[in-house]
Structure 1
Amino acid sequence: MQRVLVLEDDDDLRTLLCDLLVASGAQACVSAASFEAMVRQQEQVLQCELALLDVNLGARVPSGLDAYHWLRENGFEGRVVFLTGHARSHPLVRQAHELTQARVLSKPVNAKELMALVRKPDGSHDA
């Protein structure tokens, strides 16, 4: 069983993702709508084994890339998966693809792929 962080600025999508992940076997879902909301939940966030991070959290606010770096700087050792609705050519998406310890999935996300993330017990990093 895993604890999962979902950082997503779209309220409906964030709720849907958490519901799906818990239904797929996640022990708990820590939900955050912004970088700041994630940091406020630091203790619970850093106990997660999987982080789903929206690449773009809005204009002129910290991005999912900022969240990734904060997580790693604070000792997060779990798997990271970025979610994006942007093209691969978008600067943030390009940066996310360059990270070797993360995976990038395009929205809309395939439900089976999400469920498989929760069920993957070995903590492997897919490229």
Structure 2
Amino acid sequence: MKNILLVEDEVLIGLDLKMKLLSKGYNVCGQVDTGEEAIQQALQINPDLIICDIRLKGELSGIEAIKSLREQGFLGKVIFLSGYGDKKIREEASKVEPTAYLVKPVKYEDLFTEVKQALNL
């Protein structure tokens, strides 16, 4: 079974996302709300996919957390979720080679399509 790590600082959005993924049969191996925790969890679990918000609690953004993971050899897939769709943020996010960048509010059918593709299912 493929593992998904959720990185989302909005508690209700994170719980809803987790429940939707679980209902579709995906394995959510962890849920954190800071970039620092995302790095720690990802290095411990080595998930197949990280679904990550851009703006997070703590010092690091989602982009900075994924950049750090990439520098440490993390090769897993990444889907960014963000309330920000502007060009500058998208360009910054593209530097860490995400599989997808979805703008909130996300249509779950679009997210599930991206998750399925990222996990090669």
TM range (shorter): 0.7 to 0.9
Aligned length: 119
Identity %: 28
Which secondary structure state, in structure 2, belongs to the residue aligned with residue 30 of structure 1? Answer: strand
State the Cα distance separating 1:53 from its structure 2 match: 1.0
Tell me the residue number matched to 1:15: 15
Structure with greater helix share of residues? 2
Q: TM-score, normalised by structure 2?
A: 0.82
Tell me the residue number matched to 2:52: 53
CA RMSD of aligned residues (A): 2.2
Tell me the residue number matched to 2:76: 78
Tell me the residue number matched to 1:87: 85
Supply the AA of the counterpart residue of 1:112: E
Tell me the residue number matched to 2:2: 2
Supply the AA of the counterpart residue of 1:43: Q
Supply the AA of the counterpart residue of 1:94: E
Q: TM-score, normalised by structure 1?
A: 0.78
State the Cα distance separating 1:74 from its structure 2 match: 2.7
Residues 40-73 of structure 1 show CA distances to partners (whole Å, capped at 9, x for unaligned) of 42312x2x11111111115x72101111112212
Tell me the residue number matched to 1:43: 44
Once residues 114 and 73 of structure 2 are traced to their aligned partners in structure 1, the CA distance between those partners, rounded to angstroms, is: 21
Once residues 114 and 29 of structure 1 are traced to their aligned partners in structure 2, the CA distance between those partners, rounded to angstroms, is: 18
Tell me the residue number matched to 2:63: 65
